[in-house]
Structure 1
Amino acid sequence: MTATTMGRARQAAQVTLLVVLVLVTAVLPLLLTGEQSGGRTLDPADTSLNGSGALARLLEAHGVEVVRVETPGAAVAAAGPQTLLLVTEASFLNRDAARRIAEAPGDRLVAGAVPHLDVLAPGVRRQGPVRARSRAPQCALREAVRAGDAYTGGTSFTGPPGATGCYPADDGHALVRYTADGHTVTVLGDASFMTNLRLAEDGNAALALNLAGARPKLVWLAEPDDPDEAGDPGAGADGQARSLGDLIPGGVRWAVLQLIVAVTLAALWRGRRLGPVVIERLPVVVRAAETVEGRGRLYRSRRARDRAALALRAAATDRLAPRLGLPRTATAEEVAVAAAVRTGHDPEPVLALLCGPPPGDDTALVTLAAHLDTLERQVRDS
């Protein structure tokens, strides 16, 4: 390969590397802002360990209609007097969105580290973080008593006057329920008992069914594709599907466009300098005799008389088979018998010649080669 060809090859490799880097840089923002495939925490449509697909199926099996929404506007639109609105720690809310949810009709279930708790559950106060573990209800709340021990904790709360607290944790309770303005509000410090990972432990499934299935319709506010959209109470309320361009921020669009233009110009600039493929002759021609001699010297240096004899016998068998009218797949024994018949010799010596043991020394190896040559000449002349 000449220096010019090597230079062109390097240029082609550089262009290829540049294209790959640009494509990765352009596609990565799309992957980060695009739709994720599974692994969403507390999502009723997710079947991973962090999802809550199992709980959603159980609720539907018990006759509860589960409505999955991604925006506060859609949650408010789906809520009604006989609905339960579930807000988990996976919901991205700003204060205005939390206020709209608090004004929605029906009951509310707030589970996990949800922001703006003073708006979603007025009167409930956080006492502090506590370790999540299996706890006994130690209260008279029917839903908790029927479930028994459950994996709760995360945060302890104190409720307003008249509130019911369950699952004691430090100076408060991991579950608080109270009624205000005709709405039943339930607050939980940890929502991991609703996930597919924890649902089968203790009484987690029973507690989740009792709390989330309290109404015939459950409106589940899940993690949206675009967290910014969750902060806008009116965004996505119409339920229309968003295109891929809607998921890309404006700055990324311009960056991707500039990268595409840069890659195109680089390809045109470098591509014109790549000429046709040049076919070059091999600089060295090795004769077949030299190859045979080199292999023979290698066998001799390693004293591989067995391999040398095997190679001689195999070559002789391959040359004798077509002369004897046998296929090339014929075995050495078949060739030996046919050669003995053709030449009129006793089959035993011919079999020993083509299928015998390896020679014991170099003299025996030379003698074997001479006898094989004689046998081939006799078959050829017969």
Structure 2
Amino acid sequence: MIVLLGAVVVLVSILGVLLGPEQTPARYLDPDDTSLSGSKALAELLRDRGVTVDRVDSVEAAAAKAATGDRLLLITDTTYIDEFDLARIPGDRLVIGGVFGLEALAPGVRVEPVGERVRSREPECGLPAATAAGSAFLGGAPLRGPSGSTACYPAGDGHALVSFPYASGVITVVTDGDFMTNQRLAEDGNAALALNLVGTGKAVTWLVAPETPPAVALPGERGKSMYDLMPPGIRWAVYMAIIAVLVTAFWRGRRLGPVVTEKLPVIVRAAETVEGRGRLYRARRARERAADALRAGTIDRLTPRLGLASGADRQEIVPALAARTGQDAQQVGAALYGPPPADDAGLVRLAGYLDFMERQISEHR
């Protein structure tokens, strides 16, 4: 009886999920998103000031808005978007965060390999939008702009904001967009900086990535969803199949008795273990834990090769490693003991640099 009651509860739960309303996931820096990571508050502040804010999710829509007049193109995500087509749209351009295709969207801007912790920073520059706002919550991978650019908010070996003129307007790149989110907008001078950068008096085309890859439909044919292509009775057939599976499991479970488990030896290759752990780190976006593991492994392997005792601290390891490899001591210290990378690209660069130092030590033994 208890098993039958449990089966009924499972069935009701499944039906509730299938028939219940879909929940909208949070979308980072989306002007229509009211979650902590969205930017609905900033969009409403801009509209209250008379600024037109149009949310688009394709290059075609952004280009159509640009054809109506002089506008500011705000880019927060380029997933499923061709950055080269996007770069052809004229006018001022504000790029937020480590988007894909930054080389095309902001020519001449370089991203430093070691990221900086996101925290409150002072502008220390002459850009009016930054000096009027004061301190702001910024960080991430430092930027270096092209010749003639204005750089604000020092971070590591670069800056968190760079701005420079180009052929048809001004390009501004901000390395991290947390200051524009609903959660951080009221802190420091975040709201002032966001309004100064976005609310320039021009209409704003706010580009976000589409939630799904654009569908490819045949000429003259309207794209259909998966549910449109299903036969009318398929949903009830699925429900009946679920009930049949549950009834069969209950019947067979009572006939065969409880399941007997037995521990069996399993051999897992080291490479599979490493790949599996790497996929888990990537799925959970655990860049900090992954970076700590890479740094700890590098330090453990290099300490005996440098002739140092086990447990040597930073003051011993960094000078010895810099002397053996010819690298700058500050760069070596940032790689081994600096803040975690701000994105996956920074983590890959950190791993490559650590591997480079290990090979340098091996070649000089």
Structure 2: gaps of 5 or more residues: 249-365
The answer to whether 1:262 aligns with 2:241 is yes
Aligned position for 1:100:
85
Matching of residues 293-332 of structure 1 within 5 Å: none
Matching of residues 57-76 of structure 1 within 5 Å: 57-76=44-63
The answer to whether 1:27 aligns with 2:18 is yes
Between the aligned partners of 1:185 and 1:255, the Cα distance in structure 2 is 52
Offset at residue 165 of structure 1 (A): 0.8
Q: Is the 8 A contact 1:82 1:215 kept in 2?
A: no
Change (3 A) 1:262 1:42: same
Change (3 A) 1:176 1:248: farther
Q: Is the 8 A contact 1:84 1:106 kept in 2?
A: yes
Change (3 A) 1:215 1:105: farther
Aligned position for 2:27:
40
Between the aligned partners of 2:238 and 2:73, the Cα distance in structure 1 is 45
2:108 to 123, 126, 138: 123
Between the aligned partners of 2:42 and 2:200, the Cα distance in structure 1 is 14
Aligned position for 2:268:
none
Offset at residue 123 of structure 1 (A): 1.1
Between the aligned partners of 1:162 and 1:181, the Cα distance in structure 2 is 14
Aligned position for 1:152:
138
Q: TM-score, normalised by structure 1?
A: 0.55
Offset at residue 23 of structure 1 (A): 2.8
| Aligned AA (1:85) | L
| Aligned AA (2:241) | A
Between the aligned partners of 1:35 and 1:125, the Cα distance in structure 2 is 38
Matching of residues 365-376 of structure 1 within 5 Å: none
Between the aligned partners of 1:219 and 1:17, the Cα distance in structure 2 is 48
Change (3 A) 1:18 1:192: closer
| Aligned AA (1:16) | V
Change (3 A) 1:63 1:173: same
Q: Is the 8 A contact 2:79 2:209 kept in 1?
A: no
Q: Is the 8 A contact 2:55 2:208 kept in 1?
A: yes
1:197 to 174, 183, 186: 183
Change (3 A) 1:140 1:36: same
Q: Is the 8 A contact 2:90 2:168 kept in 1?
A: no
Identity of aligned residues (%): 42
| Aligned AA (1:100) | D
Between the aligned partners of 1:219 and 1:228, the Cα distance in structure 2 is 20
Offset at residue 124 of structure 1 (A): 0.6
Offset at residue 73 of structure 1 (A): 2.7
1:85 to 46, 58, 73: 73
1:134 to 120, 125, 145: 120
Aligned position for 2:271:
none
The answer to whether 1:174 aligns with 2:150 is no
Q: Is the 8 A contact 2:11 2:243 kept in 1?
A: no
Offset at residue 16 of structure 1 (A): 3.1
Q: Is the 8 A contact 1:40 1:223 kept in 2?
A: no
Change (3 A) 1:163 1:250: farther
Offset at residue 170 of structure 1 (A): 1.4
Q: Is the 8 A contact 1:93 1:115 kept in 2?
A: yes
Larger Rg: 1
Q: Is the 8 A contact 1:98 1:116 kept in 2?
A: yes
Aligned position for 2:38:
51
SS in 2 for 1:54: helix
Structure 1: gaps of 5 or more residues: 1-8, 270-382
Q: Is the 8 A contact 1:152 1:193 kept in 2?
A: yes
| Aligned AA (2:183) | L
Q: Is the 8 A contact 1:76 1:100 kept in 2?
A: no
Matching of residues 220-239 of structure 1 within 5 Å: 220-224=206-210, 226-229=211-214
SS in 1 for 2:225: helix
Q: Deviations over 1:98-140 (max 9, x none)?
A: 1121111221111112111112111111013111111111111
Offset at residue 228 of structure 1 (A): 2.1
Q: Is the 8 A contact 1:72 1:97 kept in 2?
A: yes
Between the aligned partners of 2:159 and 2:225, the Cα distance in structure 1 is 43
Q: Is the 8 A contact 2:136 2:193 kept in 1?
A: yes
The answer to whether 1:188 aligns with 2:179 is no
Q: Is the 8 A contact 1:67 1:219 kept in 2?
A: yes
Change (3 A) 1:22 1:146: closer
Change (3 A) 1:248 1:175: farther
| Aligned AA (1:114) | V
Between the aligned partners of 1:101 and 1:213, the Cα distance in structure 2 is 21
